[in-house]
Amino acid sequence: MKNKLFSTLILGSVLCVGLPTVVAQSSTDPGFKQDMKNAGQNTKNAAKDTGNGVKSGTKKTWHSTKRGTKKAAHKTAQKTDEGARKVERKTDPN
């Protein structure tokens, strides 16, 4: 009888000490599902950051090209006007 009581006491002690330890470990570990959610969120944020960088770079390039084209057009018009004036002076009979 003492042996049976002692076994019950040992089993009860192990369950009292061991069960809260198992529960505590499972509550601190978010698990595979949460890890996958976090990975998905991180991927989404990285894609957004990349998209914003591409958008910004594209805008800068477009504006730079627009300014360069306008500058070239004005310079071409100016040089054409200068050339026309030179020809006019050379061909002026007076």
Question: Which secondary-structure segment (H or E) carries 75?
Answer: helix 31-91
Tokens representing 31? 């698990």
Under DSSP, the state recorded for 93 is -
pLDDT at 20 exceeding the cut of 90: no
d(CA 85, CA 90): 9
d(CA 11, CA 17): 10
Q: pLDDT (tens digit, 9 = 90+) per residue, 24-48?
A: 555 566 789 999 999 999 999 999 9
pTM (two decimals):
0.48
